[in-house]
Amino acid sequence: MPLTLFVLRGREFHVQPGIPSARFSAFVDKIDFCESGCWLWTGKPTKQGYGSATYQNKTCPAHRLAWRFLCGDIDKGLHLHHKCKNTVCVNPEHLAPVTPEAHALLEAEARHVAVCPEGHAMTPENTYTYPGRQKRRCRACHNSNMADLRRNPRQLKTACYRGHEFTEANTKWYQGRRYCRACHAENTNRYYHEGRYKNTKQTLTTAPGVC
């Protein structure tokens, strides 16, 4: 079906068939057209910083509604990525349909900075990425923190909150944190008897024991 031409606020909009003119006009009234090309949504935002709109008695993200009005339906399971990095922008030209996995990677890249808070360059050699996550860590800062802990052992507690002494045999270091092996064993046994773990192998590998 052919698109419907609407001229609103001195702009031409080619709208998908079946969209009521009054409803689309009310939608456009809440847009602030910027010189940068972004269409800033002036309505109520969500907690995540996206614009929020109501259509057919349902609340939905404003940028997804704009895409539906001007570009058609979004394929099931796809997200709309803001290429302009402005989450309140509803300009379809600044949006791109992507898979959830690709969207997560793009958002993570946008959050990544070139240097850490201490000023170390986040080069591939100086960056540690946690397996299966988008979280990064500065190796230089981590090494410096660990060196300080080893040079000043008096700053560390000698026992966990349950009273287990942090001996060399009872201590495990992981990602800069100290773990009590005795607490880990107690938690494993307790969770196993409570039925939280389905098999013995799982109890030995995934039971938490942080002090």
For the chain, the structural domain boundaries read 4-111, 121-155, 157-211
The one-letter amino acid code at 210 reads V
What pLDDT score was predicted for residue 158? 82
The length of the chain, given as a count of residues: 211
CB 41 within 8 A of CB 56: no
Please say whether the structural domain 4-111 has been given the CATH code 1.10.10: no
Q: Does the pLDDT of residue 86 top 50, yes or no?
A: yes
Tell me the C-alpha distance between 190 and 207, whole Å: 10
| pLDDT per position as a tens digit, 93-144 | 999 999 988 888 787 776 666 777 778 888 889 888 877 666 678 888 888 8
- 86, 131, 136, 144 from 116: Cα distances, Å: 23, 20, 10, 13
What pLDDT score was predicted for residue 211? 46
What pLDDT score was predicted for residue 63? 94
**Which residues pair with residue 4 across a beta bridge?**
15
